[in-house]
């Protein structure tokens, strides 16, 4: 099956993609393009899936780089490709031929590009990372490489939507403690439960940081099992594990 790749016009002509689960070699609960080395899928199958992504982006398989994601605000600046996966949640580079990739399964995959400066970035932004500033830190790291804040465009890929993201009051409190206006990203649910707008919050942080253009592709990972993996859906379905989607960008 052919890979399905979602792209964003705001990122311009740079090669990039938010890959769905279609077109992969994995089977069972991972059926499709599972690119998560941290899953219990067969490592050789994950390698095949990642190789297909690299081919689609026109880079060697060992130039599709990633990090060991820990829900942090840590950003790496890369000048060469490496198979190491240091702990961090975002990467930036101005070096051609490196494909920056992040994995997700409800969290936000965010790709960045400053076309005039030739600088790209990729970030994994779950609620914790977004709240702690991983998007802001990625922008700052791009600026350190020569990017200009208002020339940076950013696209949020498939992630969990507000209608599927039910949380408790203590979750909302963390956002309100940071900024009272964050209450607007929550709507009432059953009882004391709330529904959190993760991509809405991500767009807010990007725009607050002063990027030129920011958009969400408007795809919900939870509600479309044929196209996307979802951690939360796997928990609700009492599945043993879940696949990881990949998003990547290269100069």
Q: Is residue 136 part of a domain?
A: yes
Q: Is the dihedral of CA 96, 52, 21, 47 positive or negative?
A: negative
- What pLDDT shows up at residue 190? 86
- What pLDDT shows up at residue 189? 83
Q: Is residue 196 part of a domain?
A: no
- What pLDDT shows up at residue 92? 98
Task: Please say if the pLDDT value at position 82 is more than 90.
Answer: no
Q: Is residue 193 part of a domain?
A: no
What CATH code is carried by the domain that includes residue 30? Answer: 3.60.140.10
Q: What does 187-248 look like in DSSP terms, one character per residue?
A: EE-STT-EEE-HHHHHHHHHHHTT-SEEEE---BSTT-TTT---HHHHHHTT-S----EEEE
Calpha distance 49→22 (Å, rounded) = 10
Task: Please say if the pLDDT value at position 217 is more than 80.
Answer: yes
Q: Is residue 205 part of a domain?
A: no
- What pLDDT shows up at residue 26? 98
- What pLDDT shows up at residue 228? 98
Structurally, how many domains does the chain consist of? Answer: 1
Q: Is residue 56 part of a domain?
A: yes
| Per-residue pLDDT tens over the stretch 86-133 | 999 999 999 999 999 999 999 999 999 999 999 999 999 999 999 999
Q: Is residue 104 part of a domain?
A: yes
- What pLDDT shows up at residue 197? 98
| Per-residue pLDDT tens over the stretch 155-170 | 999 999 999 999 999 9
Domain that holds residue 245: 5-159+218-250
Q: Is the dihedral of CA 76, 56, 104, 209 positive or negative?
A: positive
- What pLDDT shows up at residue 84? 81
- What pLDDT shows up at residue 132? 97
Q: Is residue 23 part of a domain?
A: yes
Q: Is residue 107 part of a domain?
A: yes
């Amino acid at each position: 099956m052919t890979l399905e790749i979602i792209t964003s016009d705001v990122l311009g002509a740079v090669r990039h993609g938010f890959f769905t689960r279609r077109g992969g070699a994995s089977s069972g609960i991972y059926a499709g393009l599972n690119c998560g080395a941290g899953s219990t899928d067969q490592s050789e199958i994950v390698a095949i899936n990642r190789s297909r992504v690299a081919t689609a982006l026109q880079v060697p398989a060992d130039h599709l780089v990633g990090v060991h994601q820990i829900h942090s605000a840590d950003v790496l600046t890369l000048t060469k490709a490496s198979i190491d996966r240091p702990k961090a949640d975002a990467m930036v580079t101005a070096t051609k031929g490196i494909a920056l990739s992040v994995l997700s399964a409800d969290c936000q995959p965010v790709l960045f590009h400053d076309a005039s400066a030739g600088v790209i970035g990729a970030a994994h932004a779950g609620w914790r990372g977004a709240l702690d500033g991983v998007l802001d830190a990625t922008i700052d790291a791009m600026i350190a490489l020569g990017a200009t804040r208002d020339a940076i465009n950013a696209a949020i890929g498939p992630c969990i939507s507000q209608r599927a993201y039910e949380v408790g009051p203590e979750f909302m409190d963390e956002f309100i403690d940071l900024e009272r206006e964050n209450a607007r990203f929550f709507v009432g649910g059953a009882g004391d439960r709330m529904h959190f707008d993760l991509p809405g919050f991500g767009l807010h942080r990007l725009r607050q940081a002063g990027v030129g253009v920011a958009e969400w592709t408007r795809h919900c990972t939870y509600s479309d099992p044929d196209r996307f993996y979802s951690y939360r859906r796997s928990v609700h379905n009492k599945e043993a594990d879940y696949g990881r989607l990949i998003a990547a960008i290269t100069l």
